[in-house]
Amino acid sequence: MIRAELGRRYLNHGEPDKAAAELRIAERYDTDSDPQRARAWGEVYSLLNEVPSAVKYYEKYLAGARKVALPASQIERADQILTDLKSRLTPHAVTTALPHAFTPEELRAALKERLTSDEYQLVRIPFASTPKINEWAEQLVGDARDDMEKANCLFRGLIQRINLIHEVHWRTAEEAFTDWSDPKAAITCQDYTLMFRSKVTY
């Protein structure tokens, strides 16, 4: 139980690798069939999105819970969680129409149609490109022949400088691109995502 709680705390602090390591250590010394311990491990594995391991321990919990006659409400709740976890083990095709891919002009027109003038003035499109971003993207792409090769060129260009931080900054692609040019600036995963998105649509 202590290892599972440590794992949960590591997860809360954004350290999934350490959380998983705690569970691996705990599994080495699992010599009994305590259902509450199995439930705790199942919960953390579920949070880690390690579905097969979560299924394994929820099944172990339910077997032990029924054996010692734990309250029916607890068993029913765990059974529902297990059913959901098992459904995630099998890929399911989604049949739906693709969302409309707006051009920058179409997006701005749609926003103007739906928003008041004051509301529109507050709009910031986080992945909007700029002439400077477009120029840099063109240099990176060069003579690339197809979309996949272009995307690879853009990706390689972005990862020339990696200085990630685990913080939240509400920057647009334009703002992130400006900061990215500063070698001392720290960039978040979201910044890289927005910059890549803006370059892909240049």
Question: pLDDT tens digits for 177-194?
Answer: 888 777 777 778 888 888
Question: pLDDT tens digits for 40-84?
Answer: 878 888 878 888 888 988 898 888 888 888 888 888 998 999 998
pLDDT surpassing 60 at residue 202: no
C-alpha–C-alpha distance, residues 158 and 129, integer Å: 15
Q: What single DSSP character describes residue 94?
A: -
> In the structure encoding, which two tokens stand for residue 70, read together?
């734990």
Q: Which residue has the higher pLDDT, 159 or 108?
A: 108
pLDDT surpassing 80 at residue 124: yes
Residue 164 DSSP SS3: strand
Residue ranges covered by each domain of the chain: 2-87, 127-200
CATH of 2-87, one of 3.40.50.1100, 3.40.50.1370, 3.10.105.10, 1.25.40.10: 1.25.40.10
